[in-house]
Structure 1
Amino acid sequence: MTPILVPPAIEPAELTWHADVPESRQFGDIYFSRHNGLEESRYVFIRHNQLQARFASVPEAGCFVVAESGFGTGLNFLATWQAWQTWGPSHTATLHFISVERYPLRLQDLEKALSFWPELHEPAHELIANYPPLVRGAHRLVLAGGRVRLTLFFGDIQDAWEALCFKADAWFLDGFAPAVNPEMWQAALFEQMRQHSKPGTTLATFTAAGAIRRGLEASGFRMQKQAGYGRKREMLTGRFQPDSAPPPTQGPAQTAPEIAVIGAGIAGCLLANNLAKRGYAVTLVDSAEEPGSAASGNLQGALYVKLGVEYNHQTQLALSALTFSQRYYNASGKQFWHPTGLLQLAWNNTERERQRRFLECNQYPQNLLRQVNREQAEALTGAKLESGGLWFPGSGWVEPGKLCKALAAHPGIHRVTGFTVGKVAASDGSWALYSDNPDNRKILADRIVICAGHQSPHLVPGSEALRFKAIRGQVTHMPGPLIESPQAVVCGARYLNPAHNSPGSQLSVIGATFDLHSNEPKPTSESHRENIRETSAMVPRMLPAETATGPTPEQLTGRVGFRCTTHDYQPVAGPFYDAEGRELEGLYLLTGLGSKGLGYAPLLAEFIADQLTGQPCALPLSLAKRLATGRMHQPKMASS
C-alpha cells in the first residue's frame, strides 16, 4: 500500500506493466488501449473535437484552450501537440493544454510509457525534460518555444477546476472508467465544466455511460453518441450550448492591443519577451541606454527562494516560482544560466533549528531539495564548510545583466531608451507615458505595465501613498585570487557565487547588504567590509590563509541596487485597483520582488502576460490573490 505523503509531496501512480501497456494499481485499469493508444487518442479526442479545422483558424496572437480530466502518461497531450504542429496556424499563436492528475507518474515511469511511441520522440523528450517535481498544485510548462503551454495540476480534479482560471475551447473527458473511478465522474465535475466553458465549447469522451450523458446534458451540453474506437462500440461527443446563450457567431477579428512595459530590468525584459513571443506588439521603455542597467545589472545573481516552515500560500508561491524559474532558465537562459546547484547553509543555530522544523513538517521530492551533512555539502560545493544544509540540485546562478540584454533584443520588441517617464495618465481610452525630459515626448499604448522597481510607486496615477519601500543593496566583486571560490552557490546571511570570468579578470560576486537607512547610490568601503565580514562568518574559510585579513578596499569593486519591497515582503503582480477598489483598466503592476527577483520574475511575467492576453492563468486563484495590487493601499482609519 502506498504511504500517505506529507505535503507538498503527492502520492505517485503505482504501475503494473503488461508488455508495453501500463496499468494503475490504484484503480486496476489501463492507461491507454492495448490495441493502439495513440490512435485511440487521435480518434476520440482530436477527431471528435474537430481540432484540425479549428487549429488552422486560430488568429494571429490568439490561443486555443484544451482542458483534460486525466493527464496519465501525457499521451493525449503529446498527440494534441503534434496535431498543433501539423495543423496549427503558421503565424504566432498559442496552444494551451490544461490537465489534472491525482496520481502523477514518476519520471522514470513516464519515460518508459512514452518510449513506445517513437513518432512522438521530440515532444516527449521536451516534456520529460520539463516534467515538474511531484508536488501538489499547478505547474506551468512553456514548451515549443512558447507555442505550447501546459498547465498541469497535481491533485484532486474538483480542487483543480475551482482553483484555475480559464475558458476551454475543447474538453478531453478522460481518466479511468466511471466503474473504477466513480468519485471523479460526479455532477460537481460537470457543473465545473460548465463554469469553464463558453457557447460552442466541444467535448469528447471514450465512455458512453448513460449517467455521464445525462449529467453533461443537465449542465448545458448537447450530447450525441458516436462509434467508439476498437472494441468499444460507442463513445460520446458534445457541444456546450446553454439554453440562455445565443449560438456563437464569428465576429470580426480583434486587433491585439499595444502594450508598453516601463522598466528594462529582469521583470520588464522577461515580460516584454514573453508578450513578443505570443505575437503582441510591445514597447519597452527605460531611462537608461541599455537593459539591465539598474538593480538587474549585477554580474552574478543566485537563484533561490526561502521556503517557509509552514506550507501555506506564501510558501506555495515561492515553490511555484522556484520550479518555474529553473525550467525557464534551463530552456531559455542559454549561456547566461549556470545550474551549479545551490546550498542553503545551516550557518547558525537559528537557521539550523529552522531547517530542522522545515524538514519535520514538510516532505519534498529529493530531486527538488534534500538535507545534506557537512561532508556531503563540501563535496557538492567544493567549499570548506562548518555545517551542512539544504541542497537544491536544480538551482544555480544567472548573469542577469546579460540576460536582460538578450531578452530585450527580440525583434517584436520596440525599445525606447533614455526615456525617463515623468507621468502616466489615461488618454482617450488608452494610456500615455509622458517624458520627464525637456523634449516633452509622449508614448501611447492600450495597456501599460509598470515594472520600474523602486521607482514604480512614483509612476502610479493618483496621489495616495502606496506601501512600498526601497532598500539599498551593495554587492562586492571579489577577485578570484583573493577568495576560495566554491563550485556551487552557497547562501545564508549572504550569498557566495562561484568565480566566473568577467571582462579582464575572474571574480566572484558576494553580498548583498540590506541597508534600510541609506540612499547612497555608489559602492562604499564600509559595505564591502560588511559583505566580507558577514560572508566570512557564514563560510569562515572563504578567504585564503595567506590573505586572512582580507582584501583592501582598493582591491574591490561592486555595484549598488535598490530593491523594491512591499510591507508584507510579497511581490505585486496584476491589474491596478485604486483605494476605493476600482480597477484602472489597462494599468498593471509587476514589482515588489525584493531580493528574489531572479526567482519570482519568470513566473510573474508569465502570469501577467496571461492576464494581458486573456489566456489561461498560470497561477491558481489562491496564489493570485497574494499578489493583488489593492493590498498596497494604506488601510483606512476607522472613524470614531
Structure 2
Amino acid sequence: MTDPLIPATLAFRDDGTPFSPAYDDVYHSAAGAFAQAHHVFIAGNGLPQRWREKRVFTILETGFGIGGNFLATWAAWRADPARCERLHFVSIEKHPFSQQDLSEVHSRIVADATITPLAQQLGDAWPTLVPGIHRIEFEDGRVTLTLAFGDALDILPKLWLRADAFYLDGFSPAKNPDLWSLPVFKSLARLAADGATFATYTSAGHVKRSLEQAGFSAEKVEGFGWKRAMLVGEFAPRWRVRRHEPPLPLPVGERHAIVIGAGLAGCALTERLTARGWRVSLIDQHAAAAREASGNPAGVFHPLISRDDSVASRITRAGFLYALRRWRALEQSGYSFQRSAHGLLHLAVDDEETRAMADAIASLGYPPDFVTPASQADAQALAHVALPRGGWLYPRGGSLDPAALCRAQCDAAGDLLARHFGVEALRVERFDDQWRVIDAAGQPIASAPIVVVANACDAARAADLRHAPTRIVRGQLTLLPARVASGLRVPLIGEGYAVPLADGFTLTGATYEVDDADRAMRVSGHAENLERLALMMPGVANELATSDPGTLEGRVAFRCVTSDRLPMAGALADEAAASRNAAALRGAWPLDLPRAAGLYGAFAYGSRGLVWATLAAELIASQIEGEPWPIERDLAESIDPARYLLRALRHGTLD
C-alpha cells in the first residue's frame, strides 16, 4: 500500500535560512540558495558547457527541497544561446512543501529578477500533494520538471531514464543517512548515461567510498561557503554494474510517425509527438476524428480511489493529473472543449461504501483539492437534486466534450499533422527501415519509421499481434428530455452516470454488454440506464413516470477492454523473435523482451480514455525520444502491450 505524503513544515532560522525541523538541517547554505546551486551543482557538473548542442539533456536530483537548484538551472538554460533543445529535470522529494508554503519560501529568498518569474511559474504549476510522479512543462515543453514524490529508496528503483548529470542534494549525511547510502548510489548507476557527472556539497569519506563502489569516480574540489571541500565525479565503472542499459532515443532517419486511429488515444499521441517537432500522419477509417466512442456527447474524468491504492488507482491518478495539466495548456492557447468547472460527485452505493471510502481517503492522506468526503446534505447542495446518500467529491473532476478535445489536439499540431481520413488501415508491414500502412485494397497509405496503432480493438489485428487479447463492450447512452433531471449542476457517477449538458439536457448511461457488436438502439438499453439513474436520483423516476423509453434518443458506441481492465500503451513486442527464443525468455522481464523497432500501441482504454490517453501518449513519446518516463517503471510495465506475451513465456504456453 502507498504511504501517504507528509508535507514539509515551513520554518526559518533567525538569519532567514529555510530550515527543516524534521531533519534539524537547513535547505541551503546561509551564503545563499542560488549561489550554492551555481557553484556546487551547475558548475560542479560542467554546465552549461555539457548540454550545449544536444537535443535532450537530463538531470536527476535526489532532493528537490525548495526548488532552488531547479530554478537556477532553468535560469542558466534560458541564458545560454547554445542550450540543449529540451532540458529534463527529474527530482525526488519525500516531504514536498504545500503550494502556499513553497511560494512563501520563494518570496523570502528570491531577489534575482531573472529568477522571480520562474519561481512564480513554478508556484502556479505546483502539483497536488499526492504520491507518485508529476510531470510539469515550461517553455512550451522545452523545460520539463518531473517530480517524484516519495521516499528515494522506494522511488529510485522505479524510475527509468538516462541521466547526463546528477545533483546529489538533500539534508546532510549525518542528518539523513538513507539518502547517502550505497543502495541509492547503485540506483543512480543503473540510470547513468556514459560519462554522466555528479556533484554534491558533501565531502564525507563514506559517501565518496560508496559512490566509487557503485561505479562512479569521485574527487574532492573546492567547496562552497564555509565548506572547504565538496565531491564531483563521473560514471566510470570498472566492471558491469547493471543488467540493462538506460533508454536511448530510437534511431530514425526522419522524425515522422504514423498514428492509426483518430480517437482520444490517437489525437493525444498526435499532440504529444508534434509538440516535440515530429511530423504525424493520422489515419482513420471515418471522415473525421472522434467518430467512435470518442464522439459521445460528453465523457467524465476523475481519479479512482481504492483502499489499497491499487495499480489501476495509481495509473488513473497519474493520468488524471497529467491530463488536467495538458488540457489547461490547450485552453490557455485558446482551445475550448466544454470542460465543466465545479467538480464531479461520486455517489456511494451504500452506507458501508461511504464509510470505507472516507477511511481510505483519510488513511492515504489525500488533500481536499484532490478528493474529499461529502455527506448526503453536502452532496445534495452541490448537485442541486435529491440524493439517497452521500459519497465523495473530486473538486477537479468533471465532464467535457471528447470530440472537441480531439479537434483541439489535432489543431494544436498545426502544419505538422497530415490527415488521412476515410481510409481503413488493414495492416502494417516492415519495409527496410520503414513501416508501411496498407489499406483494404492492398495499397500503401503512408510509410514512416514509427507507427502507433491506436485504433481500439482493431489495433492487434493491424499490428498482427497474437498475444494482445481484447474484447469489445457495447455501451448505449440515453439522452434525457430537457425537463428531466434539469436541476443537476455537476456530473454524478455511481451505479451509472449523469452528465448535465447544454440547454437543460442530461446524458446518462451507459450499458456494459461484453462481446456485443450490435449498433442498433435498444429500448431495453434505455430502460436499463433509467433504472440505474433512478437509484442515484430517485426524483427522476417520477419525472419519467409517463415517458416511454422507446421515444428517447441516445447513442451506441464500443469500448475496447483487456481482461485485467488496464490499457495497452507502449512499445510492441517482436512476437516472432520471442517465439524463436521462448526457452531463453521463460524467466524474462519486460526489458528483456525483443521489441518490434518503431512499433507502438495505444489502445484498450475501456471507459477511461479521457484520463489515460494523454499520459499514455506522453509515455510513448518519451520512449521514442529516450526521455525520462512520466510514470514509475512498474506502472508502465503493468500497461505494457507485451504483458500477455510475457505471461505466456513464463508459463511455457507460447505457441
Same fold (TM > 0.5): yes
Query: Which letter maps to 2:600?
Result: Y
Match status 1:221 vs 2:220: no
Query: Which letter maps to 1:102?
Result: K
> Whole-Å Cα distance in 2 between the matches of residues 439 and 159 of structure 1?
50
Match status 1:612 vs 2:614: no
TM superposition shift of 1:473: 1.1
Considering only aligned residues, what root-mean-square deviation do their CA atoms show, in Å? 2.7
Aligned ranges 1:254-269 → 2 under 5 Å: 255=253, 257-269=255-267
> Whole-Å Cα distance in 2 between the matches of residues 24 and 128 of structure 1?
20
TM superposition shift of 1:479: 4.2
1:471, 1:563 within 8 Å by CA — same for their partners in 2? yes
1:335 aligned residue: 336
1:21, 1:113 within 8 Å by CA — same for their partners in 2? no
Which of these residues, 397, 400, 406, is aligned with residue 404 of structure 1?
406
> Whole-Å Cα distance in 2 between the matches of residues 348 and 550 of structure 1?
29
Q: Is the partner of 1:497 in helix, strand or coil?
A: strand
> Whole-Å Cα distance in 2 between the matches of residues 202 and 178 of structure 1?
20
Q: Is the partner of 1:344 in helix, strand or coil?
A: strand
> Whole-Å Cα distance in 1 between the matches of residues 260 and 289 of structure 2?
11
Which of these residues, 441, 446, 462, is aligned with residue 443 of structure 1?
446
Query: Which letter maps to 1:569?
Result: R
Match status 1:371 vs 2:367: no
TM superposition shift of 1:507: 2.8
1:543-584, Cα deviation, whole Å (9 max, x unpaired) = 7x6x44265557643322110000111111122222736432
1:67-93, Cα deviation, whole Å (9 max, x unpaired) = 0011101111122222223326689x3
> Whole-Å Cα distance in 1 between the matches of residues 166 and 630 of structure 2?
19
> Whole-Å Cα distance in 2 between the matches of residues 457 and 535 of structure 1?
35
Q: Which deviates more from structure 2 when the two are superposed, residues 76-85 or residues 354-363?
A: 354-363
1:94 aligned residue: 86
> Whole-Å Cα distance in 1 between the matches of residues 107 and 296 of structure 2?
43
TM superposition shift of 1:216: 2.7
1:142 aligned residue: 137
TM superposition shift of 1:36: 2.1
1:225, 1:236 within 8 Å by CA — same for their partners in 2? yes
> Whole-Å Cα distance in 1 between the matches of residues 626 and 561 of structure 2?
28
> Whole-Å Cα distance in 2 between the matches of residues 496 and 123 of structure 1?
41
Aligned ranges 1:95-244 → 2 under 5 Å: 95-116=87-108, 117=110, 119=113, 120-243=115-238
TM superposition shift of 1:102: 1.7
> Whole-Å Cα distance in 2 between the matches of residues 618 and 638 of structure 1?
33
Q: Is the partner of 2:539 in helix, strand or coil?
A: coil
Q: Is the partner of 2:180 in helix, strand or coil?
A: coil
> Whole-Å Cα distance in 1 between the matches of residues 641 and 405 of structure 2?
27
Label 1:421 to 1:387 Cα distance change in 2 as closer, same or farther (>3 A): same
> Whole-Å Cα distance in 1 between the matches of residues 126 and 551 of structure 2?
45
> Whole-Å Cα distance in 2 between the matches of residues 447 and 308 of structure 1?
37
2:264, 2:609 within 8 Å by CA — same for their partners in 1? yes
1:8, 1:311 within 8 Å by CA — same for their partners in 2? no
Aligned ranges 1:566-577 → 2 under 5 Å: 566-577=562-573
1:496 aligned residue: 498
1:450, 1:591 within 8 Å by CA — same for their partners in 2? yes
1:368-392, Cα deviation, whole Å (9 max, x unpaired) = 1111101111222333222110111
1:165, 1:617 within 8 Å by CA — same for their partners in 2? yes
2:437, 2:446 within 8 Å by CA — same for their partners in 1? yes
1:394-420, Cα deviation, whole Å (9 max, x unpaired) = 211121101101111212222221221
Provide the identity percentage. Answer: 31
Q: Is the partner of 2:230 in helix, strand or coil?
A: strand
Label 1:301 to 1:638 Cα distance change in 2 as closer, same or farther (>3 A): closer
> Whole-Å Cα distance in 2 between the matches of residues 145 and 453 of structure 1?
30
Which of these residues, 8, 12, 15, is aligned with residue 13 of structure 1?
8
1:456 aligned residue: 459
> Whole-Å Cα distance in 2 between the matches of residues 470 and 350 of structure 1?
32
> Whole-Å Cα distance in 1 between the matches of residues 596 and 616 of structure 2?
20
Match status 1:414 vs 2:409: no
1:32 aligned residue: 28
TM superposition shift of 1:523: 3.4
Which of these residues, 518, 537, 540, is aligned with residue 538 of structure 2?
540
Match status 1:80 vs 2:73: yes
1:425 aligned residue: 429
1:167-194, Cα deviation, whole Å (9 max, x unpaired) = 1111111111122222221222222222
Which of these residues, 279, 285, 291, is aligned with residue 277 of structure 2?
279
Label 1:378 to 1:450 Cα distance change in 2 as closer, same or farther (>3 A): same
> Whole-Å Cα distance in 2 between the matches of residues 216 and 146 of structure 1?
33
> Whole-Å Cα distance in 1 between the matches of residues 356 and 205 of structure 2?
55
> Whole-Å Cα distance in 1 between the matches of residues 282 and 562 of structure 2?
24
Q: What is the TM-score of this pair, normalised by structure 2?
A: 0.87
Match status 1:303 vs 2:301: yes
2:77, 2:83 within 8 Å by CA — same for their partners in 1? no
TM superposition shift of 1:207: 1.9
1:67 aligned residue: 60
Q: Which deviates more from structure 2 when the two are superposed, residues 263-272 or residues 330-339?
A: 330-339
> Whole-Å Cα distance in 1 between the matches of residues 327 and 551 of structure 2?
33
> Whole-Å Cα distance in 2 between the matches of residues 29 and 351 of structure 1?
43
Label 1:512 to 1:39 Cα distance change in 2 as closer, same or farther (>3 A): same
TM superposition shift of 1:310: 2.0
Label 1:209 to 1:8 Cα distance change in 2 as closer, same or farther (>3 A): closer
Query: Which letter maps to 1:571?
Result: P
2:223, 2:229 within 8 Å by CA — same for their partners in 1? yes
> Whole-Å Cα distance in 2 between the matches of residues 44 and 529 of structure 1?
68
Q: Is the partner of 1:184 in helix, strand or coil?
A: helix
2:590 aligned residue: none
1:9, 1:134 within 8 Å by CA — same for their partners in 2? no
Query: Which letter maps to 1:76?
Result: N
Query: Which letter maps to 1:311?
Result: D
Label 1:229 to 1:372 Cα distance change in 2 as closer, same or farther (>3 A): same
> Whole-Å Cα distance in 2 between the matches of residues 139 and 21 of structure 1?
27
Label 1:528 to 1:315 Cα distance change in 2 as closer, same or farther (>3 A): same
> Whole-Å Cα distance in 1 between the matches of residues 116 and 305 of structure 2?
35
Label 1:377 to 1:576 Cα distance change in 2 as closer, same or farther (>3 A): same
Query: Which letter maps to 1:124?
Result: A
Q: For this pair of structures, how many residues does the alignment match? A: 615
Q: Is the partner of 1:21 in helix, strand or coil?
A: coil
2:471, 2:515 within 8 Å by CA — same for their partners in 1? no
1:353-382, Cα deviation, whole Å (9 max, x unpaired) = 653664576442222111110111122233
1:301-338, Cα deviation, whole Å (9 max, x unpaired) = 11024322322333322222222223333333552232
1:602 aligned residue: 614
Q: What is the TM-score of this pair, normalised by structure 1?
A: 0.89
Which of these residues, 572, 596, 601, is aligned with residue 589 of structure 1?
601
2:252, 2:449 within 8 Å by CA — same for their partners in 1? no
Label 1:81 to 1:477 Cα distance change in 2 as closer, same or farther (>3 A): farther
2:336, 2:404 within 8 Å by CA — same for their partners in 1? no
TM superposition shift of 1:477: 2.7
TM superposition shift of 1:274: 0.4
Q: Is the partner of 2:48 in helix, strand or coil?
A: helix
TM superposition shift of 1:244: 6.1
1:485, 1:508 within 8 Å by CA — same for their partners in 2? no
1:514 aligned residue: 512
Specify every segment of 5 or more residues in structure 1 that has no aligned partner in the other structure, as ranges.
Answer: 1-5, 246-252
2:220, 2:229 within 8 Å by CA — same for their partners in 1? yes
1:249 aligned residue: none
Label 1:233 to 1:403 Cα distance change in 2 as closer, same or farther (>3 A): same
1:480, 1:499 within 8 Å by CA — same for their partners in 2? no
